[in-house]
Structure 1
Amino acid sequence: MTARTRLAVDIGGTFTDLVLSLPDRTVSRKLLTTHDAPDDAVIAGTRDILAEVGIGGSAVDLVVHGTTLATNALIERKGARTALITTAGFRDSLEIAYEHRFEQYDLYMERPRPLVERDLRLEVAERLAADGSVLLDLDEAALPRLVDVLRAQQIQALAISFLHSYINPAHEERARDILAAAMPGLAITLSSEVCREIREYERTSTTVANAYVLPLMASYLGRMRDGFAGIGVACPLLLMMSSGGVCTVETATRFPVRLVESGPAGGVILARRIAALGGYNRALSFDMGGTTAKITLIDDYAPQQSRHFEVARAYRFAKGSGIPVRIPVIDMVEIGAGGGSIGRVDDLRRIVVGPDSSGSDPGPACYGRGGSAPTVTDADVVLGRIDPARFAGGKIGLDPSLAHRAVLTDIGLRLEMAAEEAARGIVEIVDETMASAARVHAVENGKDTVGRTLIAFGGAAPLHAARMAQKLGIERVVIPVDAGVGSAHGFLDAPIAYEVARTFLLPLDGLDPERVGQLFSDMRAEAEAVVRLGVPAGLLSEQRTGSMRYRGQGHEIAVPLDDSELDQAALRGAFEKAYTLLFGRIIPGLEVEAVTWTLALSQRYALPPADPRVDEGAPAVAQGTRRMVEAASGRAIDAPVYGRASLLPGARLRGPAAIVEDGTTTIVPTGFEARIGYSGEIIIEGVTA
């Protein structure tokens, strides 16, 4: 990004974060999310932050925005009234799903309810073969009859997903043209545009999800632009995507399903930059906000990527219990563990935390907004880890007595514990939940957490990072500058980017380099139509990937490809290298086939070089002390409190201590030492088991 004055906006489940980047400094703001009208908090916060720095809206050159609105609409089932048109005989594919039980021994298992009820899953006669040839022409005469149904049912959005349309979109496109002429205001989504890949259920599910949130997101983005214009901000508005790139409003309006993990993706972009600056080639990104915690593996300064994601899981941790969407996404594990996560005692007299959250309304008990259930934030207040007067920069006042009452009433009295011990139980459970999720995520990817650097950001992460690192065997924790609004900072560092995928099943023994080369040329043209809106052609970087497998296997692995790797030997060599990295061996003698080809086009972006400089700054001077209860030992201590703004690069301090800033507080427990890095980051080392 070359704009000089930029605004980043991150709307989360509890807080809305704003970061204004000026040529000489950055200013941030954290507000409670206004769920009924999320853009209200954004516009009000923007007006305030512009007034604080003394500039008008016209001085802003660029706005980058990430939001959970699409995700929340899918989770809360608050999208448009949607219908699906599919090949005759296949309307129940959306409900049949994978034909398996994701919780085999749960007699009361609940599958996620389809976004489109059965009566609105309509059929039309047509059929394509797997190679795209026409077996049965589209019954165009049937489509006008479906218009009557769509009108009678007051349908607002329509998804069209025909069998094998990923290889030949002609029938879908013709159906769209006929229906659009009859119903000009209807929002129509084609599977061949949203997800041009094999696997009928996932492709249809992605198409339906896109259609379901499309009218909502189009209206929201329109209000957002109007709101910005009303305060004089008339610059381009870009949207953060789940892949870690940004796109234009037009692309986001057309494919809103690509925004489902936009906020967390921004945090990973920040973590990648911090890893590069510190030379941490094996890192773990840890983002803990008010509602959830997100964990991502970063190796060689690149986060793991995926093309499969589940939204609105009926069982938060059970794979297969959600709505699958096939989109480019940074591969992360998301846990219902945030500052607002609610603690309770279950029937076995155990303390459990989350996954449900108090959100921003009513919020934790200490907010004084009507909440009475104890949350992680309440526990942190009871333990003395949060200064009630400085929470969110003093914009949100906390009442410690309400936190104490909630923790004692719901947990302490039931387990015959003092309030502080009950609070410690909440904190230990949530920390172990996050650590366990990180371990499982690493193992599932053939990796380990030991020896990594934990990069922590988000309003709650610095409070819990050191203890979580202890549990994971991690010896270094890094807290970036202004970590409380870390994801918004990441937005400002994200490149304009777009990714295109095409299924073209091809055994390597029968490779046609010219056909594959033409496929990549077509994908490049489609991606350029999006990316070139914001980036000159000479500043684009291309990355190719092939999803490949041994013949007979059910799933593929992602294989990075060089421009020259279009001959059989090179492709097989690239596949065997990637397969060995994942599974430790290859299978000699088996035929290899490529299934899906992917091209990612992005603005050229160079990570900053590692900066090994270490300043010996002025000694750390505490502003006072605060009574805190340490999570690991349960010991009450008078810990020094430091203001982060007063700590110069090179300053060192030993735990126990608290480092306070407007957006968060960093806890340095006993046995840890913290120093301030050259770029202002807090580096915590010396973890003891």
Structure 2
Amino acid sequence: MLIAPYRVGVDIGGTFTDLVMVDSKGAVRAFKAPSVPSDPTEGVLSAIRLAADALAIDVETFLSNTELFVHGSTIATNTLLEKKGAKVGLLVTDGFRDSLEIRRSMREYVWDHRKPFPEVLVPRYLRLPVVERLEQDGTVRIPFNPDSVAAAARVFEDEGVETVAICFLHSYANPAHERAAKAELKKLLPNVWVTASSEIAPTIGEYERTSTTVVNAYVARRVVPYLESLSQRLSSLGLKRKLLMIQSNGGAISIDEIGQAPASLVLSGPAAGVGSLKFFGQDTGSEHLMSIEIGGTSCDVTLMEHGMVSMTDQIVVDGYHLNIPSVDIHTVGAGGGTIASVDGAGLLKAGPEGAGSTPGPACYGRGGTRPTVTDAQLVLGRLKPGPYAGGVITLNLEKAIEAIETHVAKPLGLSVNDAAAGIIQLVEQNILHAVEQASLEKGYNPQAFTLVACGGAGPLHGPSTARLLGCSSLYIPRLAGVFCAFGMCNSDLRHDYVRSWLKDLDNRESSGPDLLEAAFIEMQAEASDVLAREGFTGHKALLKRAYDLRYFGQQWTIPVECASTDAGTMRAAFEQVYQRLFGYVQPAGAIEIVNLRLAAIGRLDALEVASAPAAVSDPVAISRRPVWVNKELGFVETPVYDGTALTSRQQLTGPAIIEEATTTLILGAGDKLTMTEAGNYHVDILLSEAA
């Protein structure tokens, strides 16, 4: 029986809404309910009802005994992907009306020159000029003219604009004109939601700053009402504390604070994996972890070095640039719902299209007819037919066979089994490339990391991916299927602050230690006030300094965490990161400080790893079935184990299948599994075996 009070994390995915609850003694329970894309609140409430039923209490009692409720949602991302956002108006400096559409004119894939850029979220007739102009140091070149704002407001009102974004030239150096324009708009259009770039992304880079502000305005009308409605619904059902949301930076934030920056939720779900990595790092005994979180639609790769996760402020969602602090996550379309097909040239493809939760993979029996990775796993015996995730879905082998035979096997002239194996091998190549991009391309050797396979589908691909990478160590949490939801229960609160600096590192008159210290003290005062309002003071409040640095003449900056204001210390920290990324440094090269950054962290009591009971006997298989192991061995009669019956220090040698409540693990031939002290899975990969 779980003992109140509880911590609850709820993650809405494409297929399932995951709920994890942790009681006051550290005991954990996980639940899955189908996601409801048309009304995400229903998926959340269904998961809550499952948890309450498992405790034999009503929903009101469950929520009233919940001390921490943290939520991660894809609603901001989906609003952008589905183009279901608000009608946005944009105020810009006179003469810069088309900056948003001109973009940077750079392509992610330089040879793909025919692919059109994404649709501009604000059409030209709603991008209106304001008479004003600042110099790059923030001094006024042309005074602000409120009459031009009034003229734009009349157009916005006539056109039914719902939200307005404001982005003036050089407002990062002086926000006065943007603040004046916002105040004027609020008087003229009191029912229109307004956001200014100096509030959400006060950084150099006009296009990225404008794009971020526009996306923020675009998603606001859907995200903010949803969060307010969910918060009110939970409160009415008994939740006493404020709902917390996971941001793209991996930290939580109260719903009261998120209202002005809903765009910071675009990576809300995947970013919560940071909390899980920190927790499971205690069990692995390693500070060097690399996770592949594979769910129904995507594979998210996150790298942790020395216990710290890499951060970035340059992310792209469906072609739209956002300049917001985020966990550095590399994502590819490779999940259980990834659809396999044969193109016109007779080549097998996997993705990027996915089946989602509705209709889902063919084997779900919900109307889907196209083959997916999950269908292939079922055909290959890695998954078993029948109820899954507590009976939420039932896997139908006949429908999986029919889908693969019709759409892949017959067009390629293959057997169903060979077609299914080809789908798995292809998607694992895609996962491999994603991991290499997140590690090798950033100067990290993946073989120096423990690979963490998580997500509902991750443990099925973990051993093969580790073998392809040359990683000898694989770790699979027992809670792999609810990895992000569990991470929410172990996530601190976090606010990020940035101030543009744009000064020479070695110029003591403009960037001396005293000036830098004074600037940081101002930022820290604001951050400390916010943390204090949320109840974090003293040792519960942590402030971490960082810089965005670059060599003079370069366009892009490199984030460097450094508490010192000493130029020599900052240079050494920068050159260490630069050497890792590019393999060289410029001795005595001139370095420019572009931004000052401050992370304000409200520390929650960390969850502790509890030891599981030690094994008293060898593990016993509950059944055996033919499972496709690899292309050399083909199908092998394989023992199947109940994961809930395995405990600390027990060992297994593959091939083997281990079935958990929220995921399924596969061990390759010769792989050696050892149950950790906390009852999770550590696998020593046999690297000599062909993948």
1:33 aligns with 2:32: no
Paired position in structure 2 for 1:317: none
Cα pair distance change 1:393/1:518, threshold 3 Å: same
Paired position in structure 1 for 2:514: 514
Indicate if the aligned counterparts of 1:103 and 1:109 stay in contact, CA closer than 8 A: no
Indicate if the aligned counterparts of 1:618 and 1:648 stay in contact, CA closer than 8 A: no
Paired position in structure 2 for 1:472: 469
Matches within 5 A, 1:532-571: 532-538=532-538, 539-562=540-563, 565-571=564-570
Paired position in structure 2 for 1:490: 487
> 1:687: Cα distance to partner?
2.1
Letter in 2 for 1:577: Q
Paired position in structure 1 for 2:331: 334
Letter in 2 for 1:633: E
Cα pair distance change 1:568/1:101, threshold 3 Å: closer
> 1:419: Cα distance to partner?
1.1
Indicate if the aligned counterparts of 2:456 and 2:663 stay in contact, CA closer than 8 A: yes
> 1:105: Cα distance to partner?
3.3
Distance (Å, rounded) in 1 between the aligned partners of 2:536 and 2:588: 46
Indicate if the aligned counterparts of 1:272 and 1:303 stay in contact, CA closer than 8 A: no
Distance (Å, rounded) in 1 between the aligned partners of 2:270 and 2:492: 15
Distance (Å, rounded) in 1 between the aligned partners of 2:576 and 2:336: 42
1:295 aligns with 2:301: yes
> 1:629: Cα distance to partner?
1.4
Q: 2:460 aligns with which of 456, 460, 463?
A: 463
1:233 aligns with 2:264: no
What is the SS of the residue equivalent to 1:465? helix
Letter in 2 for 1:81: K
Matches within 5 A, 1:9-48: 9-24=10-25, 25-48=27-50
Indicate if the aligned counterparts of 1:344 and 1:374 stay in contact, CA closer than 8 A: yes
TM-score (norm 2): 0.95
1:406 aligns with 2:403: yes
Q: Deviations over 1:218-271 (max 9, x none)?
A: 110012113213432333210001111100002222111111111111123212
Matches within 5 A, 1:243-254: 243-254=249-260
What is the SS of the residue equivalent to 2:389? helix
Distance (Å, rounded) in 1 between the aligned partners of 2:600 and 2:334: 34
Letter in 2 for 1:20: M
Q: 2:363 aligns with which of 366, 372, 384?
A: 366
Indicate if the aligned counterparts of 1:496 and 1:535 stay in contact, CA closer than 8 A: no
What is the SS of the residue equivalent to 2:190? coil
> 1:197: Cα distance to partner?
0.5
Indicate if the aligned counterparts of 2:284 and 2:475 stay in contact, CA closer than 8 A: no
> 1:277: Cα distance to partner?
2.6
Q: Deviations over 1:636-660 (max 9, x none)?
A: 1221111111111111111111111
Distance (Å, rounded) in 1 between the aligned partners of 2:345 and 2:383: 30
What is the SS of the residue equivalent to 2:447? coil
Indicate if the aligned counterparts of 1:366 and 1:402 stay in contact, CA closer than 8 A: yes
1:686 aligns with 2:685: yes
Distance (Å, rounded) in 2 between the aligned partners of 1:532 and 1:346: 58
> 1:611: Cα distance to partner?
9.9
Letter in 2 for 1:423: A
Distance (Å, rounded) in 2 between the aligned partners of 1:20 and 1:441: 31
> 1:303: Cα distance to partner?
1.4
Distance (Å, rounded) in 2 between the aligned partners of 1:611 and 1:557: 38
Indicate if the aligned counterparts of 1:652 and 1:673 stay in contact, CA closer than 8 A: yes
- Stretch of structure 1 that moved more, 187-196 or 27-36: 27-36
What is the SS of the residue equivalent to 2:431? helix
Paired position in structure 1 for 2:350: 353
Matched-pair identity in %: 36
Paired position in structure 1 for 2:315: 309
Q: Deviations over 1:51-82 (max 9, x none)?
A: 22123131222210001110111111111111
> 1:604: Cα distance to partner?
3.6
Paired position in structure 1 for 2:118: 112
Distance (Å, rounded) in 1 between the aligned partners of 2:274 and 2:572: 30
Indicate if the aligned counterparts of 1:476 and 1:687 stay in contact, CA closer than 8 A: no
1:440 aligns with 2:443: no
Paired position in structure 1 for 2:262: 256
> 1:395: Cα distance to partner?
2.0
Distance (Å, rounded) in 2 between the aligned partners of 1:561 and 1:3: 40
Paired position in structure 2 for 1:187: 193
Indicate if the aligned counterparts of 2:275 and 2:489 stay in contact, CA closer than 8 A: no
Matches within 5 A, 1:101-180: 101-180=107-186
In the alignment of these two chains, the number of paired residues is 677
Letter in 2 for 1:463: L
Indicate if the aligned counterparts of 2:274 and 2:491 stay in contact, CA closer than 8 A: no
Indicate if the aligned counterparts of 1:279 and 1:610 stay in contact, CA closer than 8 A: no
Paired position in structure 2 for 1:316: none
Distance (Å, rounded) in 1 between the aligned partners of 2:129 and 2:78: 29
- Stretch of structure 1 that moved more, 604-613 or 263-272: 604-613
Paired position in structure 1 for 2:526: 526
What is the SS of the residue equivalent to 2:187? helix
Paired position in structure 1 for 2:665: 666
Paired position in structure 2 for 1:652: 651
Cα pair distance change 1:453/1:569, threshold 3 Å: closer
Q: Deviations over 1:560-586 (max 9, x none)?
A: 212xx2233333333333333433432
Cα pair distance change 1:596/1:606, threshold 3 Å: farther
Letter in 1 for 2:247: M
Matches within 5 A, 1:202-221: 202-221=208-227
Cα pair distance change 1:607/1:220, threshold 3 Å: closer
Paired position in structure 2 for 1:378: 375
Q: Deviations over 1:651-686 (max 9, x none)?
A: 111111111111010111212111211101111113
Gaps of 5+ in 1: 313-321
Indicate if the aligned counterparts of 1:345 and 1:351 stay in contact, CA closer than 8 A: yes
Distance (Å, rounded) in 1 between the aligned partners of 2:612 and 2:16: 35
Indicate if the aligned counterparts of 1:366 and 1:403 stay in contact, CA closer than 8 A: yes
TM-score (norm 1): 0.95
Distance (Å, rounded) in 1 between the aligned partners of 2:89 and 2:462: 45
Indicate if the aligned counterparts of 1:247 and 1:531 stay in contact, CA closer than 8 A: no
Distance (Å, rounded) in 2 between the aligned partners of 1:416 and 1:285: 36
Cα pair distance change 1:653/1:572, threshold 3 Å: closer
